[in-house]
């Protein structure tokens, strides 16, 4: 099956638009919610389930079935029932990826009943877009494709997600969260929801101390602090953090640290190259706002820091370091690691970086 051409930002935009439509009670007869990222699928399903019918109506006219325990014929028959004492019947099919012969739902989606709203939650992968079922859902209802973000997309999304709760988040706190939780949006949203509840009344910004106190990530020993120490060539501090990582390998996997360092030196390389173009080819140096776009940063503070740090790392050194990081990315996965553990590999990598 062809790879999806939908981008994460488009997925988020459609998600927000569907939430607005649901709030306005503008419902479609069919919702096919599909894709790798479960967070958006669950969130839309929950919004629909809580909004279409009142609590009293839900007892009679809202039915939830699961793909593993159902068959297509049963779902079709449920959809063809008339609502009891209400305008709509809501049929929610969860874990639809486990429904055998899901394409047979086309017996219903070819001619959906006006009084029925069918919600299909198909996780882990997409429905075959060549199938009659998919095409009918796309014609008669709404198809939402849930996309998993890439590592560089999670920071901007998380910033907006926190802003939707009336809060800001500091750059350090943001990186601490994304380094610790990765790109799992469901996990991140759950942690943020718990964090928001625990904040003191009147709090307007989430800080690194909030993350340490409520999420359990050290504000002094994390990849943000390690990257800062490396960027300003503070060898002692960097090795101190590396020793902490070595004592806590489960909380600080080498692969994540290598990715964080690669991001740092990639940004330094880019700024140095743009500065070289400005000096040698008379090309204008991008302003801070343009650099934010190029480097996919969410604040000017990060750009100013990178511009200062780049002077310490000329690109002849950065180029070699990027090669080292690719090498240690492989070693973090067990390729030619020589039996060294993550802590030993990180200390060796840092020493090689500082020796450039």
Q: Alpha-carbon distance 23 to 8, whole Å? A: 23
CATH 1.10.760.10 fits 151-215, yes or no: no
Q: Alpha-carbon distance 12 to 23, whole Å? A: 17
CA triple 140-143-148, angle to 5 deg: 180
Count of Cβ atoms closer than 10 Å to residue 14 Cβ: 19
Tell me the domain boundaries of the chain: 8-146, 151-215, 229-354
Q: Which two tokens stand for residue 261?
A: 């360092």
- The CATH number for 8-146, chosen from 3.40.50.1240, 1.10.1520.10, 3.40.50.1370, 3.40.50.300, is 3.40.50.300
| Cβ–Cβ under 8 Å, residues 225 and 218 | no
* C-alpha closest to that of 72 among 98, 105, 96: 105
pLDDT at residue 1 in the model: 45
Q: Alpha-carbon distance 239 to 113, whole Å? A: 66
pLDDT at residue 3 in the model: 55
List per-residue pLDDT tens for the chain, 356 residues long. Answer: 445 678 999 999 999 999 999 999 999 999 999 999 999 999 999 999 999 999 999 999 999 999 999 999 999 999 999 998 888 999 999 999 999 999 999 999 999 999 999 999 999 999 999 999 999 999 999 999 999 998 888 888 999 999 999 999 998 888 888 887 878 898 889 889 988 988 988 899 999 889 888 887 788 888 999 999 999 999 999 999 999 999 988 888 999 999 999 999 999 999 999 999 988 888 888 998 898 889 888 778 888 889 999 999 999 999 999 999 999 999 998 898 888 999 999 999 999 999 98
Element holding 328 (H helix, E strand)? helix 315-332
Specify which residues 64 forms β-bridges with. Answer: 92
Assess whether the region 151-215 and the region 229-354 belong to the same CATH fold.
no
CATH class held by domain 229-354: mainly alpha
| Cβ–Cβ under 8 Å, residues 272 and 310 | yes
**272 backbone dihedrals φ, ψ, rounded to 5°:** -60, -40
| Cβ–Cβ under 8 Å, residues 88 and 53 | yes
The answer to whether the pTM exceeds 0.85 is: no
Residue-wise pLDDT tens digits, 245-287: 999 888 889 999 999 999 999 999 999 999 999 888 888 889 9
Residue-wise pLDDT tens digits, 120-143: 999 999 999 999 999 999 999 999
- Cross-sheet strand order for the sheet of 62-66: 62-66, 89-94, 116-123, 30-35, 142-146
């Amino acid at each position: 099956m062809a790879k999806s051409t939908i981008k994460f930002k488009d997925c988020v935009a459609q998600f927000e638009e569907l939430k607005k439509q649901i709030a306005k009670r503008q419902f479609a007869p069919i919702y096919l919610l599909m894709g790798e990222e479960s967070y958006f699928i669950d969130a839309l399903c929950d919004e629909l389930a809580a909004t279409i019918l009142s609590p009293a109506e839900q007892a009679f006219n809202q039915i939830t079935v699961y793909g593993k325990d159902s068959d297509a014929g049963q779902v079709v028959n449920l959809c063809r029932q008339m609502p009891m004492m209400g305008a709509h019947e809501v049929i929610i099919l969860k874990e639809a990826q486990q429904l055998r012969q899901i394409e047979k739902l086309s017996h219903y989606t070819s001619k959906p009943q006006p009084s029925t709203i069918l919600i299909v939650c198909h996780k882990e992968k997409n429905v075959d877009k060549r199938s009659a079922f998919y095409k009918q859902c796309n014609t008669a209802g709404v198809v939402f494709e849930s996309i998993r973000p890439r590592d560089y997309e999670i920071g901007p999304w998380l910033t907006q997600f926190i802003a939707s709760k009336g809060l800001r988040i500091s750059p350090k706190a943001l990186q601490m969260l994304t380094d610790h939780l990765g790109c799992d949006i469901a996990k991140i949203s759950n942690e943020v929801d718990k964090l928001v509840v625990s904040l003191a009344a009147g709090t307007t910004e989430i800080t690194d101390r909030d993350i340490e106190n409520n999420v359990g990530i050290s504000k002094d020993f994390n990849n943000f602090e390690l990257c800062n120490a490396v960027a300003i060539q503070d060898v002692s501090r960097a090795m101190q953090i590396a020793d902490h990582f070595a004592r806590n390998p489960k909380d600080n996997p080498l692969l994540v640290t290598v990715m964080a360092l690669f991001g740092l030196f990639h940004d330094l390389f880019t700024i140095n190259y743009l500065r070289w173009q400005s000096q040698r080819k008379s090309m204008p140096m991008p302003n801070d706002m343009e650099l934010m776009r190029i480097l996919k940063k969410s604040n000017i503070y990060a750009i100013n820091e990178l511009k200062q740090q780049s002077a310490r790392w000329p690109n002849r050194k950065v180029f070699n370091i990027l090669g080292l990081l690719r090498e240690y990315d492989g070693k973090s996965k067990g390729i030619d690691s020589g039996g060294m553990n993550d802590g030993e590999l990180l200390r060796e990598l840092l020493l090689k970086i500082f020796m450039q």
